[in-house]
Chains A and B, each alone.
Chain A
């Protein structure tokens, strides 16, 4: 790595060799080292980070806030450059209800197509590099997310990326954006559509191994940051100049202290969600155990049948008769396929996420309580 970067630095310092292809024989020159990081046709440079533009941040927050529930879902546009996904634009997808599934899928595809065409006309980036998902209280594990990302990971360059935005955390004053993608082992299991117990063991899958997090950066381009800072300067109150003791921190935007709110309004909801998820998990486990027992029963039946046939044949041979043909057991006994454990895996992930967010609320609550108490004490 050091060698290549040295070469790149050297090549950058030298005047770039003019690639002059002769018209008779088009020779494909190797990409000069200085450009190797920019031109990445085969998508060979692995993605190590994600960069979010200021506009995308505000667009996602707006959509997540306005969409009913935690259903905000949209596409991210941009490009990848030297191992970084640069997300420069995004647009929301219409909220589709579950009825007439086929039709809505088609109309979403049409919507997506015409939106991309329109954006291209005004020179915006028009290559899809992933999608974003709004969520509440850390619960973004679900089947659709995994399905969508699995499709993306097949089709898109570098497999695309998921940006997850937590509405409830943002409302508490901590805008939270995280980038994820599916891990290789999960994708492998998903492709085979095999989430039986043995497959899970082979792939060493737990809920924490489904998604891997990618570091995420926020970028404000020069124009936006200069604009914001100009606005902030303009809003310094005139009183501040006369009395320096009153000068507020000259942040454009007055600081917010929503993080200091003592209310714990989210906790009951969070607890409810945990209980709900636990109930679902229990039901799912019950189903799995039932199926497991059924499989065991059918297997035992089949084994008993085979055993019986063997004994019969042995007695027939002893009596000098021709043995009965060995029949195909699988045709006589329907052994159900082993159940998929994906659902229970995702439910566990959700429980964990709820637990984590509850933990965070509790810990900050504790700090805030003592802060308030310190006020009374003295």
Chain B
């Protein structure tokens, strides 16, 4: 899922003299896992009153084709005043080592900040993180939490490139690169759990661990609703109320066309027997276990 509008700035290539752009090393796109996103939002919630924005380190992996995968993030202490910016480097190193022990595959790929204003300090911090990630380029994730009025929540990813005749650390062009949210199947179902909570935000819902059957029921219900919608659409096309869309028709054909001919009677029955057998076995095992544990409680008199 893309996190922002597409930008053509990706085609800006860095032509600064003395800048080595080895193919495969320049990050071309960023994928963010929900863990990192939630960590950043949590950090923002826990900031000091005095802090306008919070920053932290992004951990993840790089692939050969320049895709950077941000898999987790941790907060880093920093302070910004009108005169200076300070990042607690010791803290950053300690935290990185701690994370590295659990997840040796994840390395520093860049840094995040909340709010979407990029200033001189951003360039300085970018310079610092570039040193941490050499020989690779550091990426910068600007996450707008959308709490300030008139700003939309979203995530933008940048890479920094030096600017000027003599590149200085405080000068930097932030070149936007595409950024999208990615989740695995497992994380997917976790997100379902989070988004399924009712519309009142901030409230907590009891989730009695839903059994698989309930989840299945919900999915089947959704499928049935969708079929109803498709049916309504097809019928309105047939009756001539709506002009049919050829593309939609083809998609429907593809989706509904594959017949389940191979699911013949015999095969269905044998599979049914297997499933029933497994179910019977499971019940048998469970009751045996229960009996056995009760028998242990009987006094041998």
Contacts and interface: CB of A to CB of B under 8 A. Distances in A.
Contact of A200 (B205, B209, B222, B296): B296
A348 interface: yes
A171 B183 CA distance: 12
Nearest to A86: B204
Contacts of B229: 245
Interface class of chain A by DSSP: helix
Interface string B181-197: 10111111111111101
B216 A222 contact: no
Interface string A217-258: 111111111111011101100000001011001011111111
Interface stretch (A5-13, A303-311, A363-371): A363-371
B102 to A, nearest CB: 5
A169 B212 contact: yes
B55 to A, nearest CB: 11
B173 interface: no
A170 B210 CA distance: 11
Contact of A221 (B45, B72, B260): B45
A204 B229 CA distance: 56
Given A54-B194, A65-B187, A364-B216, A369 B207 contact: no
A114 interface: yes
Interface in B241-294: 242, 245, 248, 259-261, 263, 268, 271-272, 275-276, 278-279, 281-283, 285-286, 289-290, 292-294
A150 interface: no
A245 B242 contact: yes
A206 interface: yes
Contacts of A218: 193-194, 197, 204-205, 207
Contacts of B183: 253
Interface residues of B, number: 104
Given A360-B212, A376-B260, A225 B220 contact: no
Interface of B: 1-4, 33-35, 37-39, 41-48, 71-72, 75-77, 88, 91, 94-95, 98, 101-103, 145-147, 152-154, 181, 183-195, 197, 201-213, 215-216, 218-220, 222-223, 229, 232-233, 236, 242, 245, 248, 259-261, 263, 268, 271-272, 275-276, 278-279, 281-283, 285-286, 289-290, 292-294, 296-297, 299-300
Interface of A: 49, 51, 53-55, 57-59, 61-66, 88-89, 91-95, 111, 114-115, 118, 121-124, 167, 169-178, 197-198, 200-201, 204-208, 215-228, 230-232, 234-235, 243, 245-246, 249, 251-260, 264, 267, 271, 274, 278, 341, 344-345, 348, 351-352, 354-356, 358-369, 371-373, 375-376
